[in-house]
């Protein structure tokens, strides 16, 4: 069951189901709900504009994440720094109470908070590798950085996250 | 005095993530056996990435709607309907679960893993979906033979009926990205619909049973002999874990 598609069609159809993941990625990158909305929208439009550069049948998600990353670094980030505004706290992000078990819900919020509290470069890399499940090589491509940099960001992030949860254990322990 | 190789945190991280070549992985594994300091360093890098992934999955529900430019997009050509995307998915879903035994290719986002996809559709199951099904042994055997052929792995009816906590109901061949996804449906003692989903996993390493939650249901995942498994349904984690371990050895 094969489909012949051109790039533009494929992007148009693929963006809608991809959008929640794209938005989530933008949230982690920008640290702010409003900026995430803007970045995700901008990335969709940029992706459609650049459809000629997309090889139909290759991985749309990686391509769009790369577009979002570049948009943020090259264009939108400087502007939002100028405009001011800090990073939203997890409470402001208003995470829904999906889990009926209050203890694991609390833990999930803790985990989210810890990752969002990491420096931008680290939390973006954590997002791509540990949440989206990309390989080091794929993450390096999306972020336009060497694989070695991916590794050092992850090592630093792991160190911070592990010690934070270790400390919590000792505190409760 | 022999030189102990020192490994960087980056190498240890790559080791934990399975992103390291085999010879270095072996060096590290060997070194860990004798080097308490190295073990402690490794521990200092250990995180539960599954926990992170699960915490971030909740955020997906928070996403706003996609830009209006993407609405009313023509559905994929494999279904030539004029229905909007939501109704199309619902129709396809109905065919999938009512039809029984015939595989349909459902066009879902390629970015979902097959387990996400299976969990999403299993979330739609209720007791009534399966309660009326009552196959005799012969019917069940024929159905399983068909499913085994599609999957490329023999599923023994006896393996499915040994568990007194799960009442086996039926098997179906579904599809994911053009590959067969086998679904074996059960009802628990409490009447919860539970599915064992199996997909071929080429060149995948065996993994232990890993229990978590997907779409609000208890789930267990593992890989054995180049097949990926997902057991999902209900909210009894202990039941799912126990059943998963039993099925892992029997299948």
Please choose, from the candidates B19, B4, B12, B20, the residue with its C-alpha nearest in 3D space to the C-alpha of residue B41: B12
- Who wins on pLDDT, B153 or B3? B153
| H helices present in chain B, as ranges | 9-16, 22-34, 36-43, 49-57, 85-99, 114-122, 127-131, 137-151, 157-161, 237-250
For residue B91, pLDDT over 60 is answered with no
**Who's near B93: CB < 8 A, 6+ residues apart?**
B106, B121, B124
Q: How far apart are alpha carbons A33 and A23 in whole angstroms?
A: 9
For residue B227, pLDDT over 80 is answered with yes
Do β-strands B217-224 and B227-232 pair in parallel, antiparallel, or remain unpaired?
antiparallel
Q: How far apart are alpha carbons B34 and B49 in whole angstroms?
A: 27
CB A8 within 8 A of CB A55: no
pLDDT on residue A171: 45
Instruction: Flag if A21 and B60 touch (Cβ within 8 Å).
Output: yes
From the list B43, B63, B76, the residue facing A20 with the nearest CB is: B63
For residue B234, pLDDT over 70 is answered with yes
- Interface contact B86, partner A, CB < 8 A: no
* Average pLDDT for chain B: 81
Which chain A residues touch B58 with a CB distance below 8 Å?
A: 95-96, 98-99, 108, 112
Per-residue buried b or exposed e for A85-110, using 16+ beta carbons within 10 Å of the residue's own CB: eeebeeeebebeeebeeeeebebbbb
HSE-up (13 A, CA, CB side) for residue B80 = 1
For residue B73, pLDDT over 60 is answered with no
Q: How far apart are alpha carbons B251 and B246 in whole angstroms?
A: 9
Closest-CA distance of chain A to residue B158, Å: 35
Instruction: Flag if B62 and A96 touch (Cβ within 8 Å).
Output: yes
pLDDT on residue B102: 29
Closest-CA distance of chain B to residue A86, Å: 20
Instruction: Flag if A148 and B60 touch (Cβ within 8 Å).
Output: no
Instruction: Flag if A45 and B69 touch (Cβ within 8 Å).
Output: yes
pLDDT on residue B62: 85
Which chain A residues touch B85 with a CB distance below 8 Å?
A: 16
Mean pLDDT, to the nearest integer, of B66-88? 50
| HEC readout, B90-112 | HHHHHHHHHHCCCCCCCCCCCCC
pLDDT on residue B81: 36
pLDDT on residue B192: 93
Q: How far apart are alpha carbons A149 and A69 in whole angstroms?
A: 16
Q: For the full predicted model, state whether its pTM sits above 0.80.
A: no
Test the B interface: residue of A124, A151, A153, A168 with most B CBs within 10 Å? A151
pLDDT on residue B95: 40
Of A148-162, B71-85, B141-155, minimum mean pLDDT range:
B71-85
Test the A interface: residue of B47, B89, B234, B235 with most A CBs within 10 Å? B47
Instruction: Flag if B111 and A20 touch (Cβ within 8 Å).
Output: no
Which chain B residues touch A19 with a CB distance below 8 Å?
A: 63, 65-67, 70
For residue B30, pLDDT over 50 is answered with yes
For B:139-178, CB contacts with A below 8 A are 178
Mean pLDDT, to the nearest integer, of B22-38? 94
pLDDT on residue A101: 67
- Interface contact A165, partner B, CB < 8 A: yes
Question: How many Å from the N-terminal Cα to the C-terminal Cα in chain B?
Answer: 51
Per-residue pLDDT of chain A (173 residues; tens, 9 = 90+): 233 357 777 888 889 899 999 999 999 999 888 889 989 999 998 898 888 888 877 899 999 999 999 999 987 777 766 666 555 554 455 555 555 566 777 788 889 989 999 999 999 999 999 999 999 999 999 999 999 999 999 999 999 999 887 765 554 43
Instruction: Flag if B108 and A17 touch (Cβ within 8 Å).
Output: yes
Q: How many beta-carbon pairs under 8 angstroms link A with B?
A: 144
Instruction: Flag if A159 and B9 touch (Cβ within 8 Å).
Output: yes
Instruction: Name the pLDDT band for B248 (thresholds 50, 70, 90).
Output: very high
Mean pLDDT, to the nearest integer, of B36-41? 94
Test the A interface: residue of B18, B60, B70 with most A CBs within 10 Å? B70
pLDDT on residue A84: 64
Closest-CA distance of chain B to residue A145, Å: 15
**Who's near A98: CB < 8 A, 6+ residues apart?**
A105, B58, B61, B216
| HEC readout, chain A | CCCCCCHHHHHHHHHHHHHHHHHHHHHHHHCCHHHHHHHHHHHHHHHHHCHHHCCCCCCHHHHHHHHHHHHHHHHHHHHHHHHCCCCCCHHHHCCCCCCCCHHHHHHHHHHHHHHHCCCHHHHHHHHHHHHCCCCHHHHHHHHCCCHHHHHHHHHHHHHHHHHHHHHHHHHHC
- Interface contact B206, partner A, CB < 8 A: no
Please choose, from the candidates B77, B72, B63, the residue with its C-alpha nearest in 3D space to the C-alpha of residue B107: B77
CB B38 within 8 A of CB B7: yes
The set of long-range contacts for A77-82, using a CB threshold of 8 Å and a minimum separation of 24, is A77/A30, A80/A30, A80/A32, A80/A35
Structure-block tokens of residue B17: 């993530």
Structure-block tokens of residue A58: 């290759």
């Amino acid at each position: 069951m094969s489909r012949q598609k051109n790039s533009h069609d494929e992007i148009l159809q693929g963006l809608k189901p991809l959008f929640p993941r794209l938005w989530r990625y933008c949230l982690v990158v920008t640290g702010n709900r409003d900026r995430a909305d803007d970045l995700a929208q901008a990335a969709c439009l940029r992706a459609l504009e650049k459809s000629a550069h997309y090889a139909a049948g290759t991985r749309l998600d990686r391509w769009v994440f790369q577009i979002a990353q570049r948009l943020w670094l090259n264009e939108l980030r400087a502007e939002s720094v100028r405009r001011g505004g800090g990073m939203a706290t997890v409470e402001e992000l208003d995470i829904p109470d999906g889990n009926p078990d209050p203890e694991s819900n609390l833990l999930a919020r803790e985990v989210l908070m810890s990752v969002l509290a990491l420096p931008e470069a680290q939390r973006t890399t954590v997002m791509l590798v540990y949440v989206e499940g990309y390989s080091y090589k794929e993450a390096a491509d999306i972020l336009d950085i060497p694989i070695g940099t991916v590794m050092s960001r992850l090592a630093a992030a792991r160190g911070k996250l592990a010690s934070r949860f270790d400390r919590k254990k000792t505190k409760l322990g | 005095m022999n030189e102990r190789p020192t490994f960087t945190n980056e190498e240890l991280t790559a080791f934990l993530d399975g992103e390291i070549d085999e010879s270095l992985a072996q060096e590290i594994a060997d070194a860990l056996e004798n080097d308490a300091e190295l073990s402690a360093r490794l521990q200092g890098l250990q995180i539960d990435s599954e926990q992170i992934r699960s915490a971030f999955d909740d955020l997906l529900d928070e996403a706003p709607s996609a830009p209006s430019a993407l609405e009313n997009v023509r559905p994929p050509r494999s279904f030539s309907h004029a229905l909007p995307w939501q109704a199309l998915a619902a129709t396809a879903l109905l065919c999938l679960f009512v039809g029984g035994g015939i595989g349909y290719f459902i066009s879902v986002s390629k970015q979902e893993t097959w387990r996400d996809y299976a969990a999403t559709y299993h979330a739609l199951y209720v007791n009534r979906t399966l309660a009326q099904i009552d196959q005799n042994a012969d019917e069940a055997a024929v159905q399983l033979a068909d499913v085994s052929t599609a999957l490329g792995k023999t599923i023994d009816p006896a393996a499915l009926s040994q568990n007194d906590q799960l009442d086996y109901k039926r098997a179906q061949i579904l599809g994911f990205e053009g590959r067969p996804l086998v679904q074996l449906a059960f009802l628990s003692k409490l009447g919860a619909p539970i599915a064992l989903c199996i997909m071929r996993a080429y060149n995948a390493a065996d993994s232990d049973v890993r229990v978590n939650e997907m779409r609000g249901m208890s789930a267990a995942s593992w890989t054995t002999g180049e097949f990926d498994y997902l057991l999902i349904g209900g909210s009894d984690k202990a039941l799912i874990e126990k059943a998963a371990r039993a099925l892992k050895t029997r299948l």
